[in-house]
Amino acid sequence: MVVPVVLAGGSGTRLWPLSRTQFPKQFLPLVGEHTMLQQTLLRLSALVTAPPMVICNEEHRFIAAEQLRALGGEMGSIILEPCGRNTAPALALASLLSDSEQDPLLLVLAADHVIGDADTFTHTVSAAIPLAKSGKLVTFGVVPDSAHTGYGYIRRGAALAPGFQVSEFVEKPNQDTAQQYVDSGEYLWNSGMFLFRASRYLAELRRHRPDIASACMQAVANTEHDLDFIRLDAKAFARCPSDSIDYAVMERTTDAVVVPLDAHWNDIGAWSALWDVAPKNEQGNAIRADTLLHDVQGCLIHSDERLVAAVGLDGLVVVDTPDVLLVADRSRTQEVKHLVEQLKGQNRHELECHRKVFRPWGCYDSIDNGQRYQVKHITVKPGAKLSVQMHHHRAEHWVVVSGTAKVTNGDETFLVTENESTFIPVGVVHALENPGKVPLELIEVQSGSYLGEDDIIRFEDNYGRV
């Protein structure tokens, strides 16, 4: 039995401003109509696998669950990490929570990779299964097509069909060293994808990093199943050291094997990488926007809302979101990380979330704000309900523009339909629900001395939030 383990953590900050801490790149449809996470799961359709295990940060749990549900089929399990501890602990969790009697092969995939040739990917994974069954820890090394300095490399050792013993792992090189690696023909890019038996990984982890193995065993000793999720013992997992599978296991074991993968792989680590894999017009522009262009070539232009007009551009990245406009030289998009550091230093909300924020019940878009007011466009999914809550510092006016709202306002519960409104005073316990079969759309006008999202006292919540 092969169990896909999809690593869906990480913040994807080099793809800011589209990727943000609360909605990172793996949950975005960057290449095609499906999100990166969904594409990763759809790629498995030609393989015979068990339902997947998805590992993600706790704050992304509802996004991950909604995207899995949208694909249909068996949901699998979603393991929630209360804090990030890198890949070695994450895969220990997957190994410990898999069926010990079946002792499955774990196919470890990142949720943010692009693989252009799905057939070759399927063939390569299938060919590697006998090695993993025999007890080897298989990693997939991408056949390089350039001297890339943004990836680590794996040096091939003795042949072990269909792959090679791992001679060494090497860090991201400089340009000259990377060129030497590629010219030698002995090196492959480190893809971060693996295949091994759960028991073999745990055995090697216990041998080389018993501290990580012990902490993860304690973290899964008191797991709780909550809706679609598996919750760990947060305190125990917080005590776990942080380390990658490469450092903790793969560089130390004598059973590491690398199988070459030549399937047009890319990890979309920056805007330039997205330009590389995106379809382009005759001028070499990768466009996902409504545009008016004159004498523009070699550019990536992305906008979900506004018309983008440009004249005389060459080799730029233009990313327009409702609250941020990024313009960058395409060859320097790795340096977006410096902007992210400035955002962190200034404690700006543009790093954390988009203007439109998704919640398990729907979403809201902050369309206007001032010193003592804020206006939101709220969408509530059919049958969904916001928490029963109260605010200390703000009052709210709700105007329904589409659908029907079931409103609890203090001691009263009543329906508000299209073109009707209601008022929620400061300090009054209230709730909003969509009892209908179509989405509920309403405009909320908040007014008061403090309008932060943390001014919420929840008394009852269908989604386990506090």
In this model, does residue 381 exceed pLDDT 60?
A: yes
Strands 2-7 and 105-110: parallel
Asked whether the predicted pLDDT for residue 73 surpasses 80, the reply is no
Residue 465: which pLDDT band, with cuts at 50, 70 and 90? low
Query: Is pLDDT above 60 for 466?
Result: no
**DSSP collapsed to 3 states, the chain:** CEEEEEECCCCCHHHCCCCECCECHHHCCCCCCCCHHHHHHHHHHHCCCCCCEEEEEHHHHHHHHHHHHHHCCCCCEEEEECCCCCHHHHHHHHHHHCCCCCCCEEEEEECCCEECCHHHHHHHHHHHHHHHHCCCEEEEEECCCCCCCCCCEEEEEEEECCEEEEEEEECCCCHHHHHHHHHHCCEEEEEEEEEEEHHHHHHHHHHHCHHHHHHHHHHHHCCEEECCEEECCHHHHHCCCCCCHHHHHHCCCCCEEEEEECCCEECCCCHHHHHHHCCCCCCCCEEECCEEEECCECCEEEECCCCEEEECCECEEEEECCCCEEEEEHHHHHHHHHHHHHHHHHCCHHHCCCCEEEECCEEEEEEEECCCEEEEEEEECCCCECCEEECCCEEEEEEEEECCEEEEECCEEEEECCCCEEEECCCCCEEEECCCCCCEEEEEEEEECCCCCCCCEEEECCCCCC
Task: Place 72 in a pLDDT band, splitting at 50, 70 and 90.
Answer: confident
Q: Is 274 a residue whose pLDDT tops 60?
A: yes
* Residue 338, CA atoms < 13 Å, CB-side half-sphere: 5
- Structure tokens that stand for 285 in this block: 């522009």
Percent of the residues in the chain that have a pLDDT greater than 90, as a whole number: 89
pLDDT in tens, 181-226: 999 999 999 999 999 999 999 999 999 999 999 999 999 998 988 7
* Contact present, 56 and 62 (Cβ < 8 Å): no
- pLDDT digit string (tens) for 114-150? 999 999 999 999 999 999 999 999 999 999 999 998 8
- Average pLDDT over the chain reads 95
Residue 112 burial (CB count, 10 A)? 28
Span 238-258, mean pLDDT? 96
Confidence of residue 285 (pLDDT cuts 50, 70, 90): very high
User: What are the tens digits of pLDDT across the range 150-160?
Assistant: 899 999 999 99
Does the pLDDT of residue 347 top 90, yes or no? yes
Looking at residue 40, its pLDDT comes to: 96
Q: What is the pLDDT of residue 462?
A: 80
CA 266 to chain centre: 16
Model pLDDT, residue 235: 94
d(CA 231, CA 352): 24
- Provide mean pLDDT across the span 25-48: 94
Predicted confidence (pLDDT) at residue 100 exceeds the cutoff of 90? no
The share of the chain scoring above pLDDT 70, in percent, equals 100
Mean predicted confidence (pLDDT) in 280-286: 97
Who wins on pLDDT, 427 or 357? 427
